[in-house]
Every structure is written in structure tokens, then in C-alpha cells.
Copies of this chain bind each other. A is one copy, B any other.
Amino acid sequence: MDLGERLQVIRKRHGLSQRELAKRAGVTNSTISMIEKNTVSPSFSSLLKVLKGFPMSVEEFFTLDLVKSDQVIFRAHEQAEMQAQGVALQLIGHNIPDRGLSMLKETYPPGADTGAEMIKYEGEEAGTVIEGEIELTVDYKIYHLQPGDGYFFRTTLPHRFRNLGQHTAIVISANTGPTSTHPDQTAIGK
């Protein structure tokens, strides 16, 4: 954070000399000079006085972009950074259309069963198994999911979840669709 440079750039942008800014701010010109040269580290009160000379808020002062940059490109840069900073992401579901979102943490005791397959309205559902094992039936095809496995399907297809194992199973799921706006129905409907 080069405070001095920041102040100087902004001051010049306003077309003010050190003395002119100092006068408006109620400080001496030497103060401005030293701050800009980073000879001193101004007190917060002094900084406030100086900014009043523009005038400019503290937030604005610190968030002002000194270099003109393209917003889109800035985003791309941020995105690259994030991956470089060690965040590992596993995409479980992909290619999605339209609709609302609900996320559920589902705990399946041994033997639990969502019951006979049922059809929800237009929507999608994705999920991943956190703990235990789950049997998933979608469109009359049977899948066995273990921790780390994920799934994605259209809720227009008949589906069912069962825990046939000996231990409790935990699934984190999210689903979209008209029913999502009615949590109760969604929950029971699962």
C-alpha cells in the first residue's frame, strides 16, 4: 500500500498543488509533501483532514483504482488467482437450465427409504454423499453411491433414495424447480 503515491495521484487528478490542498485541508504543505514522499506515516486524523480537502471519503480514497482497468479483465485475473491459491473444487453437477435452489442436509439412518419413486415438477437435483452408502434409483436404473460420489438428475424422472447399509448415511443435496419455493413439499417430496 503506497499511501504517498496514492495521495499524489489523486491530488494531481484533482489539479491541486500541495499548498492548495493543504490550505483546503487545514494542514501545512509540508505535511502533504512528507506524506507523498512516504517520509512520515500520517495520523488517521491528518489523513481525514487531507481527504476533506478534495473532498473525498476514506472508502473512496482507498478503493479508488489508480489504474484504469477493464472490469472483465480484472475478473479474469481474480479467477486465475483463486485457483493458484490452492482452493480445490470438484464440480459435481453441471450444465443447468433455470429454476430456484434449495439445499438440504439429509440424514439416512440404516433402513431409511424415501419410499416409492415419485415425480416432482420440472426441476433438477444434485448431491453428494458425505458419509455412509446410498442406493439411488433414477428412471428405474439403480446406482450405489459411496462417500465422495455425486449425482445429478432431472426431477421429472422417478427416483428414490435408500440406505441399505448398517450405518447412517449423510447426503448433501440441492434441487431446483417450482417445488423449491415450498420447502415443506420439497422435503417431503424427496
Contact = CB atoms under 8 A, between A and B. Distances in A.
Interface of A: 1, 3, 40-48, 58-59, 62-63, 75, 78-109, 111-116, 118, 124-128, 130, 148, 150, 152, 161, 172, 174-176, 180-181, 183-190
A-B pairs, top 5 by smallest CB distance, nearest first, are A96-B100, A174-B174, A41-B45, A88-B107, A82-B187
Given A44-B42, A63-B63, A111 B96 contact: no
A93 B176 CA distance: 11
Contacts of A109: 86, 88
B82 A190 contact: yes
Contact of A115 (B81, B94, B180, B186): B81
A20 B164 CA distance: 45
Q: Mostly helix, strand, loop or mixed at chain A's interface?
A: mixed
A102 to B, nearest CB: 5
Copies in the complex: 2
Nearest to A99: B98
A116 B172 contact: no
Contacts of A174: 93, 101, 103, 126, 174
A148 to B, nearest CB: 8
Contacts of A84: 114, 187-188, 190
Contact of A58 (B1, B113, B115): B1
Contacts of A184: 82
Name the residue in A48, A96, A97 with the highest tally of chain B Cβ atoms < 10 Å from its Cβ: A96
A89 B104 contact: yes
A154 to B, nearest CB: 11
